[in-house]
Structure 1
């Protein structure tokens, strides 16, 4: 049967037409995606049923809990990353689709499949450039690893092979000691992939392409470029493959093909992860053959294919795509820059063999646009990059020489020679690899890059701000618009909260290409904005410390302690901790369901039958179900064994005013809805109280000071306040604007600061209504003669408001005692503030 028949799917979900998030997502034309989206949403809403405890803990940790990076910034996985991981888990763990044929059959999706060639599980992820494919790869590794080690599930693996299409992508995935990604497992330490209680159990050895050694840990990830599989004894590569997939790596590779294959053949049940997987479309290609060889020799758990454009040579999308996140969605969500096409009208056709003269108008316009951004953004210690695409290597050199004549760009132009497929020439490869790694660094010497046509995968540069694609007006040499944009889509300020800064990418174009661009990008759901080049840019405001206003500095003590959550405290859980009895046995008569047959006219009962009541008729099933619900609502996954025994003891001896034997009458009473709900409630409340550890606050001896705030861009409203150390106050809503003006005009307020992730980033930990530790960021810090105020402006009261208030009040109380200075907390509700028309903080308080 199809999964639609086996899994409950509400009509409201069915009627969404396959759209996972109706407000943002577009309807997908891909059969598997269209079938999966409503099912995955219903499954998510139902608590991820059908998966292991380990999987549920990981999904909750990744997508429900709040994360903070080592630099203090808040981190949240993108919705596209969540959708990708959930679709993978659903397909592999819930549907158990171990082939495309099985998957299509269970989903009733109509896909042409040759079952004889469909030998192992393949899942493709269509994710726009910049939407975080690498993060999904890392999550997939963690998911499989912990299911293999904690659940001892045979279908999961601890062996991984991550394959890159070229050396530049390989460099990006690997990183180095300065900026590690998979290098020495750095990505798993940098981002919150591992639940804290399991972090010490994660033992993964990452072996790079140049390393010839055996694994020293429980699990192994081999990071390779595909050419490793095709190296010949004489160092040559078959020309057709080279032409399609890129240049051969350096000849001094430390690991020979024979040794590599020997090591890989010793692995079992491998997970293969293909980055930029559109290179592996053909079964005749060596990349595909290498994966098939792994399947034959070691077995494959699955093959995960990641690409923004997962198409075969004929332009057809892969049939095994299970999740889709288009470029249009990424732009709409603010995950990547917002592209804007700046059109130049009435360009004169200049006859010249020199590309710099032929395209002088476009180049000058691009430099002018770049100058605007450079002037503003250099204040943030960022260097916007001008990226020019030329027709050929001769034109690239000519354009680079012309750019070098501009004062700001002199000796700051990098030329990368590529062929018409976008592959870097051998003589430029080392320089290109170095540039790709370092161009976003503050000490990078380059401000402009010139290359032939496009640079392909791996050029994941964040600082590209203006792109000038130079090409003949006949449009015979077409550049794929998505690939053109792809070189500059990644956000310059990835840590900036989405919505506070509109990061734009400017593409200099000719109106003749308007329809070409629009048609190509409409397919990706992109609503492109075309503007005339003369239209002035709306540049972001750069908010920074005003050196002339340092007298208005604000300082907040850095503290540790407060509230934390520790599952270790569950060891102290005792049956005697719970109220007893909750119910009187005799008060809960077993409910009988009766069916009566009446005569339609006389209404007389002719027949009466007691139906069998559907309930858990075995005590072990009942206790297991209750314990799992307790785990779910108290957010303590992985504690089933610890809780099940206490749950059974309490139910048997303390729940009622008599002990139970778990006979039929006992089980009928236990299945009463009131009993189940109250039983779960008392356990969840006690577990939350026990695991929420309240500690005394301690001073760290340091302070958060406003004068140390780094410059940052801001696209929303601002206010030029007098009593703040910044040149502008960032404003997020009308209430904040009104309250900022009150503080600035109040003679009793000496100074203040808008508290924000980009300013003080002052946080107070608290535990929310779901039992998660969260960080509360109050809106303002204000200083009067006698008191330091922590102030929250609140328009709409959410479920956690009182919990936040309580922790903020406690923080102020303890810090006042520790510092000898008065700290106080105040919440300002919008309705009262606007009704009272307050003009002074004292009156409001």
Structure 2
């Protein structure tokens, strides 16, 4: 499109960076005209992405149902909360992750944890077309040894933040989930030294983990992570580690002593197959010593270059780990803006796609503009000095730069980037730009290329020291090369003297300067030169003001003949290019572990009953009748006077409703509070943030009516100005907050009955974890605990450990700490869900158990925590062993000298009674009671007579709850309620195949082919023959090769053959028929056939919406019965 004063709207974003894309720009068929704004999201050209997007969208609507509590907690914390971020100048701003970052993380978690789709073949079969499925059949088992996903993320969108989110997820999942297959040790690989230096800036000393809102406050003590840089001499001493290294450190990288400065010198070595795998042993040994590994490949398009050995290095790392008895690589995530093979084809495992066009539409990156002029012609020939040959290019580029300099100089320092053909041209052009002809650039040009001679000198200017590069005849030292790289990365900083960069090889990943506003490319665009338009633009796409409201541009100065070339190439990324005439250290810790070598662990065992949570939190706000708001206000408050008009700015503070704790303060200007008819939107935003609502729009009409008819001494008109002055008053703010916040929290958070899940966890199964060991928080030894050490938070706990060691009636005890500690949920007075962590477990010699709380100073929450603990103990006691809660105040322990726990418990009983009395004084939040018989009633209607396994019950409850809520909210599409059941269906389908057919597998692997592909002489229909051959192949892949292909469809084909097949075949088909020909399987076949039909057309692949609640409930009953039957078949087989 041509850009002029008539269509400057082409520079405006279409949506906010954190909002889901709902429209996109398309090229106008009329050449040069403004782009067409099309509804809907821009479809991806990656074959798997569009289907995955649909399913992830449905899953998001479900509140992330079906995955672990760890994953759900993190996703809601990251993406459904607003975060305040502090800056160096003392200011704060709201931090939100981009939609692209959110979707990338959600897609990984959805596929890995909910759907268990963990290899390329499964991805291609489940989400690809026929061609993709054929490709999947050719993938060898060796290529599927660990989960692999590729995230296509446009330059400037923020791959580093995606990596940090995935690291935190993998770490906490590994830490908190008992059967987690994820890793707490991560290998973050960079392709060259420039990328490595950028990543080091973010990750060194754990900086990114504490600068960004990555870790919930209550989990921070559990985040024991080291960042190990490639030059570090030692390994990690914490529970987790990020190994940040340039990929070449895994290889033999010995350059000759007489080597001259080269590309490797400036940017780090590239990957070469000839030097792979024969050294780097020490690094590989350190990494492979951990139980399992997560690999993150930054700029991963290098991964599939024909001449590199990156893949071989990962294979070696995996093999080394397995050889040491570990699990190897658990997951590999490739991140790049250009995931293409050398032939231009896309990587097959791309699961998420944010193209350049979408990033521009969202205002995440600058708008690329091609500045063109017919006068941009070269002078002379190739022998002409570069400054003469490209004089017009440089003059026009400078003029464009001057305009951007005038625009931004007050707040930023714009940068001009010139890309030259060779080092000789770079030197000539640098000298030319350093002249009086270009006053803004004189003395401010940084020349970088591989044949530089000179050194870095320190100069003083205005009392400050600066490093500058000075050219001379001396060969550059290694230190000077490093300093030169640093200078190139620090161009954005105000104290950097440079405004222009001239380079031959700066088109490398990792050079993330934000202030480039003008690019003058003087290198030819040819495939031989391997210079791509997105590479040229990539150097200047990052915004100077992240998430700013003002549009920013980067201009590429070019001849019109090149415009079509750029436009055609970048259109592949969904970009309609605008054409215009002329960037802490870790505390010391110790490991706490079950000491099998020195302790009689079986005698010190403690068994913890599994008890369900008592608090449910909804992801969306149910309807609030206006009459309920009106009644709540009038029962508690008097109407406010209208008063007389007054003006001025106010201070506003947010605090908890009952504790009065200040949580935020603001200087509020008029803004939305200028008038009463706009103020409702402001109040809705404030309340939505206080209650952690994903959307606040439904509150606006309620607040409007509340202000008009309830809040004041008489009904008012919000539009005639009579109460405009009151919208800024503190009493108005407080009464609106005090009315709406508790009502909302009552709807969102409610209490349910705790249930004994009839299972237990043994403390001897706890994983090792890290604990601090300081003077104030020491670790001590004890004989009656199975752990090597007991971490103590204070002197009181040290004294209690001594008591546990000598008390006559105590058999074993343990500190309730570490990642797998018992956490009992409860509702705080402000309506938010919280978790209580008792201090100690104790098992007495008579077999009874106790939860013990040691309390020095009390707070308002102690009574509520104590009541929750007593409830937990009552339910836990249903398992057979008696549990009780003992509350021990510090003063009482100091006064007593008990010989037994029984004596201490009796002495503490009055304190506990007083504690429970205090709990009644705390203003409770009225729970929204669900229908108590809903789950049991639906199981009965579905014909489910036996209670399914606990894990499946939880998933079934989530699905039922989602459908109930969706119906209540009159949602137009109810398909998301079925999402939690997709994973169990696939898992149980594979288990049924394994339990049923594995016993019949040939003992000799040489007989596999004849077993899975028996003679089909009596199958005359070509389509049927093909189906038998294909499903035989699937069975072999599922049962022998462990490729997990088409699990549900494979089982359904087996059942269809069992009950409908007239052919009597040998091999695996005979065993399938004999094993599955029974009444239970026939019922399963009926249900599974129906489930699969709905799944493939309306849930997993959406061809038609489920919008009728009656139909949805009918199908839900079938799904519940089907998955329960599958689970019972597996259980019966095990028995």
TM-score, normalised by the number of residues in structure 1: 0.61
For residue 287 of structure 1, what is the aligned residue in structure 2? Answer: 310
Matched, 1:306 2:335: yes
- Superposition RMSD on alpha carbons, in Å? 4.3
Residue 801 of structure 1 deviates from its aligned partner by 3.0
Q: Any residues of structure 2 matched to 1:621-700 within 5 Å, and which?
A: 627=614, 630-632=616-618
CA contact (8 A) 2:677 2:718 kept: no
Structure with the higher helix share, 1 or 2: 2
Task: Pick the structure with greater CA Rg.
Answer: 2
2:244 to 208, 219, 223: 223
Matched, 1:210 2:231: yes
Residue 313 of structure 1 deviates from its aligned partner by 1.9
- Summarize the Cα distance change of 1:206–1:472 in structure 2 as closer, same or farther, 3 Å threshold: closer
For residue 504 of structure 1, what is the aligned residue in structure 2? Answer: 553
Matched residue pairs, number? 573
CA distance in 2, matches of 1:311, 1:374: 36
CA distance in 2, matches of 1:844, 1:766: 17
- Summarize the Cα distance change of 1:242–1:486 in structure 2 as closer, same or farther, 3 Å threshold: closer
For residue 524 of structure 1, what is the aligned residue in structure 2? Answer: 573
CA contact (8 A) 1:229 1:286 kept: no
- Summarize the Cα distance change of 1:445–1:793 in structure 2 as closer, same or farther, 3 Å threshold: farther
- Summarize the Cα distance change of 1:235–1:474 in structure 2 as closer, same or farther, 3 Å threshold: closer
SS at 2:573 equivalent: coil
CA distance in 2, matches of 1:767, 1:403: 60
For residue 35 of structure 1, what is the aligned residue in structure 2? Answer: 51
1:149 to 169, 175, 182: 175
CA contact (8 A) 2:300 2:339 kept: yes
CA contact (8 A) 2:654 2:663 kept: yes
SS at 2:617 equivalent: helix
Residue 258 of structure 1 deviates from its aligned partner by 2.5
Residue 440 of structure 1 deviates from its aligned partner by 1.4
CA distance in 2, matches of 1:844, 1:634: 29
Matched, 1:137 2:159: no
CA distance in 1, matches of 2:390, 2:334: 40
CA distance in 1, matches of 2:319, 2:527: 47
- Summarize the Cα distance change of 1:803–1:141 in structure 2 as closer, same or farther, 3 Å threshold: closer
CA distance in 1, matches of 2:264, 2:342: 13
Residue 364 of structure 1 deviates from its aligned partner by 1.0
* 1:483-525: CA deviation from partner (whole Å, max 9, x where unpaired): 111000001111xx44x21111111111111111110111111
1:316 to 320, 345, 362: 345
CA distance in 1, matches of 2:257, 2:215: 42
Matched, 1:73 2:125: no
CA distance in 2, matches of 1:363, 1:524: 29
- Summarize the Cα distance change of 1:138–1:843 in structure 2 as closer, same or farther, 3 Å threshold: closer
SS at 1:323 equivalent: strand
1:375 to 406, 422, 435: 406
Residue 122 of structure 1 deviates from its aligned partner by 0.6
Gaps of 5+ in 1: 1-18, 176-180, 420-424, 534-619, 636-676, 686-745, 756-761, 783-788, 808-825
CA distance in 1, matches of 2:122, 2:257: 40
For residue 546 of structure 1, what is the aligned residue in structure 2? Answer: none
1:801 to 666, 684, 688: 684
CA contact (8 A) 1:168 1:436 kept: no
For residue 296 of structure 1, what is the aligned residue in structure 2? Answer: 319
CA contact (8 A) 1:473 1:512 kept: no
SS at 1:356 equivalent: helix
Residue 793 of structure 1 deviates from its aligned partner by 6.7
- Summarize the Cα distance change of 1:121–1:444 in structure 2 as closer, same or farther, 3 Å threshold: same
CA distance in 1, matches of 2:146, 2:525: 48
TM-score, normalised by the number of residues in structure 2: 0.46
- Summarize the Cα distance change of 1:354–1:184 in structure 2 as closer, same or farther, 3 Å threshold: same
- Summarize the Cα distance change of 1:75–1:355 in structure 2 as closer, same or farther, 3 Å threshold: same
CA distance in 2, matches of 1:38, 1:200: 37
CA contact (8 A) 2:184 2:240 kept: yes
For residue 665 of structure 1, what is the aligned residue in structure 2? Answer: none
Q: Any residues of structure 2 matched to 1:153-552 within 5 Å, and which?
A: 153-175=179-201, 181-232=202-253, 247-248=268-269, 257-282=280-305, 285-298=308-321, 299-347=328-376, 349-351=378-380, 353-380=384-411, 382-405=412-435, 406-417=438-449, 429-452=481-504, 455-471=507-523, 479-494=531-546, 497-498=547-548, 500-533=549-582
- Summarize the Cα distance change of 1:532–1:844 in structure 2 as closer, same or farther, 3 Å threshold: same
SS at 2:410 equivalent: helix
CA contact (8 A) 1:66 1:774 kept: no
- Summarize the Cα distance change of 1:430–1:414 in structure 2 as closer, same or farther, 3 Å threshold: same
For residue 661 of structure 1, what is the aligned residue in structure 2? Answer: none
Residue 437 of structure 1 deviates from its aligned partner by 3.0
CA distance in 2, matches of 1:242, 1:475: 20
CA contact (8 A) 2:191 2:270 kept: no
CA distance in 2, matches of 1:87, 1:797: 36
Residue 792 of structure 1 deviates from its aligned partner by 6.8
CA contact (8 A) 2:376 2:558 kept: no
Residue 366 of structure 1 deviates from its aligned partner by 1.3
- Summarize the Cα distance change of 1:347–1:439 in structure 2 as closer, same or farther, 3 Å threshold: closer
Residue 429 of structure 1 deviates from its aligned partner by 4.4
Residue 66 of structure 1 deviates from its aligned partner by 0.8
- Summarize the Cα distance change of 1:214–1:413 in structure 2 as closer, same or farther, 3 Å threshold: same
